[in-house]
Amino acid sequence: MGHGFQHILGILRLAYFGGVVFAVIIILQYFEFPYGDVISSLFSASKIHITYATNRTGSSCSTDNATTTLTSPQILLDSNMSETYKNASNLVHNFTKNESPTRDIFPSVNLSAVTEVHRKKQKVKVVSISEMHDILIHNRASSHPMKSLWTSRADQELLNAKLQIENASFNEDDRTLYPSVFRNISKFRRSYELMEKTLKVYIYKEGEKPIFHQPEAVMKGIYASEGWFMMQMKSSKRFITKKPKQAHLFYIPYSSKLLKATLFPNSYNRESVVPYLKSYIDMISRRYNFWNRTGGADHFLVACHDWAPDETRQFMGTCIRAICNNDVQKTGFELGKDVSLPETNVRYRQNPLQNRGGNPPSKRSVFAFFAGKMHGYLRPILLRHWENKDPDMKIFSKLPKVKDDKNYVDFMKNSKFCICAKGSEVNSPRVVEAIFYECVPVIISDNFVPPFFEILDWESFAVFVPEKDIPDLKNILLSIPKKRYLQMHKRVKEVQQHFLWHVKPVKYDIFHMILHSIWYTRVARVM
What tens digit of pLDDT does each residue of 290-303 get?
A: 999 999 999 999 99
In tens, the pLDDT along 504-515 reads: 999 999 999 999
Whole-number Å distance between alpha carbons of 280 and 328: 28
170-175 average pLDDT score:
74
318-344 average pLDDT score:
92
Residue 12 scores a pLDDT above 80: no
Say which residue, 286 or 81, is predicted with more confidence.
286
pLDDT at 311: 95
Residue 178 scores a pLDDT above 60: yes
* CB 249 within 8 Å of CB 518: yes
DSSP state of 50: P
What proportion of the chain, given as a percentage, has pLDDT over 90?
69
Element (H, E) at 420: strand 415-421
Whole-number Å distance between alpha carbons of 358 and 114: 30
pLDDT at 401: 87
Could you tell me which residues come within 8 angstroms of residue 471 by beta carbon, excluding any fewer than 6 positions away? 114, 115, 116, 117, 385
262-267 average pLDDT score:
94
pLDDT at 339: 96
What proportion of the chain, given as a percentage, has pLDDT over 70?
76
Measured from the Cβ of residue 270, the count of other Cβ atoms closer than 10 Å reads 19
SS3 assignment for 300-351: EEEECCCCHHHHHHCCCCCCEEEECCCECCCCCCCECCEEECCCCCECCCCC
CA distances from 335 to 330, 374, 443, 510 (A): 10, 29, 19, 20
In tens, the pLDDT along 428-440 reads: 999 999 999 999 9
- For the chain, the first-to-last Cα distance in angstroms comes to 77
Whole-number Å distance between alpha carbons of 140 and 158: 16
Residue 332 scores a pLDDT above 80: no
pLDDT at 9: 60
Q: How sure is the predictor about 43, in pLDDT bands with cuts at 50, 70 and 90?
A: very low
Q: How sure is the predictor about 46, in pLDDT bands with cuts at 50, 70 and 90?
A: very low
Q: How sure is the predictor about 174, in pLDDT bands with cuts at 50, 70 and 90?
A: confident
pLDDT at 53: 36
pLDDT at 19: 61
Q: How sure is the predictor about 125, in pLDDT bands with cuts at 50, 70 and 90?
A: confident
Residue 209 scores a pLDDT above 60: yes
* CB 390 within 8 Å of CB 110: yes
In tens, the pLDDT along 80-113 reads: 444 434 443 443 333 333 333 333 444 444 433 3
Could you tell me which residues come within 8 angstroms of residue 521 by beta carbon, excluding any fewer than 6 positions away? 320, 336, 337, 339, 454
What average pLDDT does the chain have? 82
pLDDT at 123: 61
Whole-number Å distance between alpha carbons of 382 and 396: 9
DSSP for 247-310, please give it. Answer: -SEEE--B-HHHHHHHH-TT---GGGGHHHHHHHHHHHHHH-SHHHHHTTTTEEEEE-STTHHH
Residue 324's identity, in one-letter code, is C
pLDDT at 70: 32
In tens, the pLDDT along 416-427 reads: 999 999 999 999
Backbone torsion region of residue 375, taken as left when φ is above 0, otherwise alpha when ψ lies between -120 and 50, otherwise beta: beta
| Of 287-301, 398-412, 445-459, the least confident | 398-412
Q: Is 444 helix (H, G, I), strand (E, B) or coil?
A: strand
Q: How sure is the predictor about 5, in pLDDT bands with cuts at 50, 70 and 90?
A: low
